[in-house]
Chains A and B, each alone.
Chain A
């Protein structure tokens, strides 16, 4: 291992400049910067995100995979727009666009819907990419455009056939036996992402089965969808946001669903964040929209590099 940094000095200077632009943007919007703990006795129970575990004074604690639960407790307590710019940690994520330790920007806007927040994400990104065009599609629209499938009604069998055709059968048996969500993720990452328009692209109205912590409502066609969105810049996934679930009982039910999924798939079963459920039940959690944005990836796009090691110091 070389002792030398992996990022150049200009890249580090650009990172500092990026932080400054972000902080000035939120200062002007009167969104309060808050710092929240990285360590918690609770973990995420999202089946596809794993927390790093450590021992603190003999007790299990977990490095947070996002500041979401702490930020929502602040919202329930103080009803103030907030943002966090700092580290988050995810076990096992390593690649050209992934690091187990990364920098995340997450913010919440009280009284906003996810569509209003998409507008603000676009405004923030315009500070870095003034020349890039912004476009928006629903999850259904991109599936129909690129694969001629309605993702909400298609069966797992139809999705599998589509994946086999599109990928020339080059998928492992474990995926052939995959459930509908796995196949949707496979098609999205392998067949749709590479065909998205360049520029800033927002995708919204995800399948209800992929709601995570978004509200679920009916779309204009009467389809139940999740009020969740993703932002891509030049086909790189940069941000994920929700019109936030703020019902304590529903939150608890989703945590329990995730745990049941983990048990059924022999994944580690971890303690869900009871404090968040309590905050939603007992506090005054406002209607709000929130989004998390990968800062290292934003810097990669800004500098035009395809390798995260160019933008992190080590």
Chain B
């Protein structure tokens, strides 16, 4: 792996900082007319998702991080690990709880998700922004009640808990925004 100098830092670049893989978010060039130039950099630690700020002397460099995003198919979980498959190489990758985090709530078998590999192992799992999942359990639907903004809790087959409008019933498929966990609409084919 190579090194990136501060002049090559741009948003999205993956680098190693303090032994952690990070993604650069912002890079600001700060230089007095006479005197030392600096780069003030914001990075996201990909292990912890925390945002770090760091000031570098311009011209310094950081090692690139072996971090790559891949589209993979979710296969199944055995409770300890979640298994994903590269649809081109058919290679399988087990991801632990730390990598999957809260994303387990949105994983549907055979669906494509983004698996970020760090040194060849899953670091983060990112589900699509919108997923369609069946309601496993909710109170009986109240027919015709579409205008009122009231909601009720629904448990999805993946285990996620989502607030849904009163007219929905168990067995229906809904569309959810995975970034906010909010109900969007009834899936078109349900």
Contact = CB atoms under 8 A, between A and B. Distances in A.
Contacts of A165: none
A186 B38 contact: yes
Contacts of B36: 48, 178, 181-182, 185-186
B35 A181 contact: yes
Contact of A189 (B7, B38, B53, B56): B38
A48 B34 contact: yes
A56 interface: no
Interface in B29-61: 29-38, 40, 52-58, 60
Given A48-B36, A181-B35, A181-B36, A92 B55 contact: no
Interface string A166-182: 01001110110010011
Interface in A273-311: 292, 294
B28 interface: yes
Interface stretch (A18-26, A94-102, A124-132): A94-102
Interface of A: 46, 48-49, 92-98, 167, 170-172, 174-175, 178, 181-182, 185-186, 188-190, 210, 212, 228, 230, 237, 240, 292, 294
Contacts of A190: 30, 38, 40, 55
User: What are the 4 tightest A-B residue pairs by CB atom distance, in nearest-first order?
Assistant: A95-B29, A185-B35, A185-B36, A172-B56
B55 A172 contact: yes
Given A181-B35, A185-B35, A189-B38, A93 B29 contact: yes
Contact of A237 (B7, B33, B37, B53): B33
B166 to A, nearest CB: 48
Contacts of A189: 30-32, 38
A286 B34 CA distance: 24
B52 A185 contact: no
A175 B57 contact: yes
Interface of B: 7, 28-38, 40, 52-58, 60
A92 B36 CA distance: 13
Nearest to B37: A48
A95 to B, nearest CB: 3
A237 B32 contact: yes
B57 A172 contact: yes
A165 to B, nearest CB: 14
A170 B7 contact: no
12 contacts: A48-B36, A94-B7, A95-B28, A98-B29, A170-B53, A171-B54, A172-B55, A172-B57, A175-B38, A188-B32, A190-B30, A210-B35
B34 A170 contact: no
A171 B55 contact: yes
A49 to B, nearest CB: 8
A212 B35 CA distance: 9
Contacts of A92: 7, 37, 58
Contact of B35 (A48, A98, A170): A48
Nearest to B52: A170
Nearest to B58: A92
A202 to B, nearest CB: 14
B31 A210 contact: no
Contacts of A95: 28-31
B34 A210 contact: yes
Contact of B34 (A93, A167, A172, A212): A212
B170 to A, nearest CB: 51
Contacts of B32: 185, 188-189, 230, 237
